[in-house]
Amino acid sequence: MTKPSAARTPSLLDCLVVGGGAAGLVAAMYLGRYRRNALVVDAGASRLAKIPRSRNVPGFPQGIAGSELHAKLKEQALQFGARLEQACVDSLQVLDGEGFEACAGERRWRARFVLLATGACDIEPELEGLASALQAGQVRYCPVCDGYETQGRRVAVLGRGEHGLREALFVAGFGNEVTWLALQSQDEVAAPHLERLRERGVRIAASVPRAVRCLPGRGVEVELRDGRVLAFDVLYPALGIIHASGLATRLGARGQEDGQLLVDAHMQTTVSGLYAAGDVAVDLNQVSVAAAHAAIAATAIHNRLP
């Protein structure tokens, strides 16, 4: 617990939203429409920016680029009075009396409630030209999002143990040709799981990749230590994800090992008054899930405000 500092004490917001990606902006739009005094503080690294074109966001049958969706969500939040500031919040404290204080360097904000919408980060492979390969759809992180578009194509899944195997099995459900780049971890998984993989026609490349090259317009080439060179149209790294929950866990909020926060049915974390929405609080990382979380959390916060 921290006493509010006397010098230049900022006025008390109804809600501080940390993170201005899909979840944070939808929450800000709801809070604005509830006529609440909400501020979004955003570090500017939404995963939306990495989506070349999403085809599973409801309401966009022709698909929509992540950057365009981000701009539309921002416009909608601002339209209803939400305010936005660019900064990376580096600390969050519970105040003695009521609410929270957040800081980003010298900047401070106080709020009755905080909604954490800080998202998650994919663990990226070491790969030359990763950014352009992502934009070209040659490297992808989310088969839930775009597995459908791999039908009839050669697909590699790069990941260790049970996690890599589960991802390979999932990807193999889209009528494509899948190879699991197992990083020599295939012996770590139970025999029945390997059998399922074989039944689905998934090949296993046991040898460790020596180099992975993205070939502009021509997919991905994987050179293995045993000398073979494999060619794919699409590579899914399945190296894990880190939920950006440090601000909450440092306050004592409970989460899983990978940082995914525990929340109740109203999206409140185990710290009273601290809510979470979007990728930081779920393993089904989807825009529609983030939006639903945001609507639930914003409404719960509104109902608790005087």
* Binding site residues, ligand FAD, CB under 6 A: 18-24, 41-48, 50-51, 54, 56-57, 88-89, 117-119, 122, 134, 141-142, 145-146, 244, 247, 278-279, 285-288, 290
Least distance from C-beta 275 to ligand FAD, angstroms? 13
Q: Which is nearer to ligand FAD, 67 or 200 (CB)?
A: 67
Q: Which is nearer to ligand FAD, 90 or 199 (CB)?
A: 90
Q: Which is nearer to ligand FAD, 43 or 220 (CB)?
A: 43
Least distance from C-beta 125 to ligand FAD, angstroms? 13
Least distance from C-beta 9 to ligand FAD, angstroms? 21
Q: Which amino acid is at 11?
A: S
Least distance from C-beta 227 to ligand FAD, angstroms? 31
Contact 227, 235 (CB under 8 A): no
**285 alpha carbon, distance to own chain's centre:** 5
Least distance from C-beta 49 to ligand FAD, angstroms? 8
Q: Which is nearer to ligand FAD, 57 or 157 (CB)?
A: 57
Tokens for 68, please give them: 């365009």
If one counts every other C-beta atom within 10 angstroms of the C-beta of residue 61, the result is: 8
Residue 166 burial (10 A CB sphere; 0-12, 13-18, 19+): middle
Instruction: Report the residue closest to ligand FAD, judged by CB.
Output: 21
Give 186's DSSP letter.
G
Instruction: Give the β-pairing of 229-232 and 220-224.
Output: antiparallel
Least distance from C-beta 160 to ligand FAD, angstroms? 20
Contact 224, 207 (CB under 8 A): yes
Q: Which amino acid is at 281?
A: A
Q: Which is nearer to ligand FAD, 28 or 205 (CB)?
A: 28
| Rounded Cα gap, residues 259 and 249, in angstroms | 8
Q: Which is nearer to ligand FAD, 116 or 169 (CB)?
A: 116
Provide the sign of the torsion angle of the four alpha carbons 22, 28, 29, 31, taken in this order: positive
Nearest to 146 by CA among 174, 169, 121: 174
Q: Which is nearer to ligand FAD, 142 or 194 (CB)?
A: 142
Under DSSP, is residue 107 helix (H, G, I), strand (E, B) or coil? Answer: strand
Least distance from C-beta 61 to ligand FAD, angstroms? 14
